[in-house]
């Protein structure tokens, strides 16, 4: 029996840092499309169902359009979907999961989607699900606590699959205001040995195995929603889990699913035209001819001549148009070449020459003067016949 394990879709995430509202909307809809794109994987691998371990919605109060869109996407998967609430979309009385509009849309658009909202065994034909839903944003008690005593009357031969959301012992979740963090701590070592066959986890956005016996994995988010944070964090996967019944270790295979590229290369130092050319080649290799599919965060250092700075500006403007988002930490200092300096200081306008000479004298120690000098150069060039 095979199934897919995924988590942390965070549909409805606003991405307010993206200035262009049209691009922001494209990113949001692309992430929703990536949920629909799980269907070919379900078919290709013959997955019997999909489990989603929390944070399907980014917020505990999604707007109606987001609710409908997610129900539509889940309904398109073609197999039963079982989910638990996470810290972003926690359950409990009055939660979104109990709202009339959500229930109606789920029934209408995704009748095979079953949110598991209580910690009790949920037997299926070919497995037993043991959901550990979060019923508030910050749960002080370990959500898997109820499994420290093995529930009675579990079918003897079916694989026992724990579904949980939170951070695990010795492996802390991301330290941001949205993470489950110090609350929602899961202590896998307290689960009785041999009682369960697989622990499907959500909350950490990278794909990661955190325990061996039973195997416990974070699926990670199938579509990254932030710039990478370190080598250890590999988002952009779902897990294909294959099990032969209770007591047999399952096989777990990460499948790459990311469609949007979030690139944050190391800072680039630019010291001359060769470096500028190398940067253009690096970006062409990284991004290819793609448009509307990538976000890039770039830190640029060094010093360039005035004409080179102008070329750099053109290069960045092109990618600014092509990419969903381009953030540049631009620290490159203008360093006019002798020729550029001469064209200003030796020019025919005595006032410009005087200003340029003063700025050039100060440019060695004062970044503001360098910036003014660069601006002056561009103005003079733009207005010269
Ligand atoms: Mn979470």
Q: Where are the domains of the chain?
A: 2-256, 261-383
Write down the pLDDT at residue 317. 96
Write down the pLDDT at residue 343. 81
pLDDT by position in tens, the chain (length 385): 999 999 999 999 999 999 899 999 999 998 999 999 999 999 999 999 999 999 999 999 999 999 999 999 999 999 999 999 999 999 999 999 999 999 999 999 999 999 999 999 999 999 999 999 999 999 889 999 999 999 999 998 999 999 999 998 655 554 544 454 567 899 999 999 999 999 999 999 999 999 999 999 999 999 999 998 766 678 899 999 999 999 999 999 999 999 999 999 999 999 999 999 999 999 999 999 999 899 999 999 998 988 999 899 999 999 999 999 999 998 888 788 888 888 887 777 888 888 988 888 887 788 788 788 888 888 887 887 6
**Are 226 and 10 spatial neighbours (Cβ–Cβ below 8 Å)?**
no
Alpha-carbon 63 to chain mean position: 21
Centre of ligand 1 from the C-alpha of residue 252, in Å: 22
Centre of ligand 1 from the C-alpha of residue 363, in Å: 50
* Alpha helix stretches (DSSP H) within the chain: 21-36, 38-45, 64-75, 100-109, 273-287, 306-322, 338-345, 350-363, 367-383
Write down the pLDDT at residue 169. 64
Q: Which residues contact 138 (CB under 8 A, 6 or more apart)?
A: 87, 180, 182, 183, 184
Centre of ligand 1 from the C-alpha of residue 8, in Å: 7
Centre of ligand 1 from the C-alpha of residue 310, in Å: 44
Ion ligand 1 — residues with CB < 5 Å: 55, 86-87, 180, 203
Centre of ligand 1 from the C-alpha of residue 323, in Å: 28
Centre of ligand 1 from the C-alpha of residue 88, in Å: 6
Write down the pLDDT at residue 180. 47
Centre of ligand 1 from the C-alpha of residue 317, in Å: 36
Assign domain 2-256 to its CATH architecture. 4-Layer Sandwich (3.60)
Write down the pLDDT at residue 176. 46
**Are 213 and 193 spatial neighbours (Cβ–Cβ below 8 Å)?**
yes
Centre of ligand 1 from the C-alpha of residue 111, in Å: 25
Query: With the C-alpha atoms ordered 10, 116, 129, 43, is the resulting torsion angle positive or negative?
Result: negative
């Amino acid at each position: 029996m095979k199934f897919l394990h995924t988590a942390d879709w965070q549909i409805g995430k606003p991405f307010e840092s993206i200035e262009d509202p049209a691009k922001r909307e494209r990113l949001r809809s692309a992430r929703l499309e990536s949920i629909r794109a799980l269907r070919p994987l379900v078919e290709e691998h013959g997955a019997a169902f999909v489990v989603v371990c929390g944070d399907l919605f980014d917020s505990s109060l999604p707007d109606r359009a987001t609710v409908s869109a997610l129900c539509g996407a889940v309904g398109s998967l073609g197999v039963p979907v079982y989910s638990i609430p996470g810290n972003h979309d926690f359950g409990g009385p009055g939660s979104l999961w109990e709202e009339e509009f959500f229930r109606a849309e789920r029934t209408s658009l995704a009748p095979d989607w079953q949110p598991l909202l209580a910690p009790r065994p949920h037997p299926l034909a070919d497995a037993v699900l043991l959901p550990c839903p979060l019923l508030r944003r910050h749960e002080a008690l370990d959500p898997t606590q109820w499994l420290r005593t093995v529930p009675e009357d579990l079918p003897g031969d079916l694989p026992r699959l724990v579904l949980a959301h939170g951070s695990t012992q010795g492996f802390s979740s991301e330290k941001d205001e949205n993470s489950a963090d110090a609350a929602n701590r899961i202590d896998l070592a307290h689960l009785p040995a041999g009682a369960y066959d697989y622990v499907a986890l959500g909350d950490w956005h990278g794909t990661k195995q955190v325990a061996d016996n039973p195997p416990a994995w974070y699926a990670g988010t199938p579509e990254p929603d932030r710039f990478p944070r370190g080598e250890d964090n590999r988002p952009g996967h779902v897990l294909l889990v294959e099990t032969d019944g209770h007591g047999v270790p399952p096989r777990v295979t990460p499948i790459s699913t990311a469609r949007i590229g979030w690139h944050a290369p190391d800072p680039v130092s630019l010291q001359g035209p060769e470096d500028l050319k190398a940067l253009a080649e690096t970006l062409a290799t990284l991004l290819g001819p793609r448009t509307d599919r990538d976000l890039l965060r770039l830190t640029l250092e060094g010093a360039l001549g005035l004409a080179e700075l102008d070329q750099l500006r053109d290069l960045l403007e092109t990618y600014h148009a092509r990419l969903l988002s381009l953030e540049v930490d631009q620290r490159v200092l203008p360093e006019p070449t002798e020729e550029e300096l001469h064209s200003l200081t030796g020019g025919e306008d005595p006032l410009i020459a005087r200003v340029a000479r003063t700025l050039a004298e100060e440019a060695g120690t004062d970044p503001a003067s360098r910036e003014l000098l660069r601006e002056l150069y561009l103005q003079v060039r733009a207005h010269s016949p």
